């Protein structure tokens, strides 16, 4: 669980005592996806676009080279 900087520390401690959930300062990624997204969605998800394009490129090269044989 992460808290906004606006949440007072005592309230954070109350939540921590009431629920058996680990509190962390910052989780960058969960299951390979960013957990916190700012204003620039393009910049945040660029790595996904790059991975998809690379897979498509490799697939296309494989299929074209097979057809050329």
Judge whether 2 and 30 are in contact, CB under 8 Å. no
Whether pTM > 0.75 for this model: the answer is no
Q: What is the distance between the alpha carbons of residues 55 and 48, in angstroms, rounded to a whole number?
A: 11
Q: What is the distance between the alpha carbons of residues 62 and 65, in angstroms, rounded to a whole number?
A: 5
Could you list the pLDDT tens digit for every one of the 69 residues in the chain?
A: 777 788 898 988 888 888 887 777 767 777 777 777 767 778 778 888 898 999 999 888 887 766 555
- H or E element at residue 52: helix 41-67
Rg of the chain over all Cα atoms, to the nearest angstrom: 21
């Amino acid at each position: 669980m992460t808290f906004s900087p606006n949440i007072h520390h005592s309230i954070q401690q109350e939540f921590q005592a009431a629920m058996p959930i680990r509190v962390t300062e910052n989780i960058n990624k969960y299951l390979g996806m960013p957990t916190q997204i700012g204003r620039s969605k393009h910049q945040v998800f660029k790595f996904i676009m790059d991975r998809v394009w690379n897979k498509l490129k490799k697939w296309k090269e494989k299929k074209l080279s097979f057809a050329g044989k």
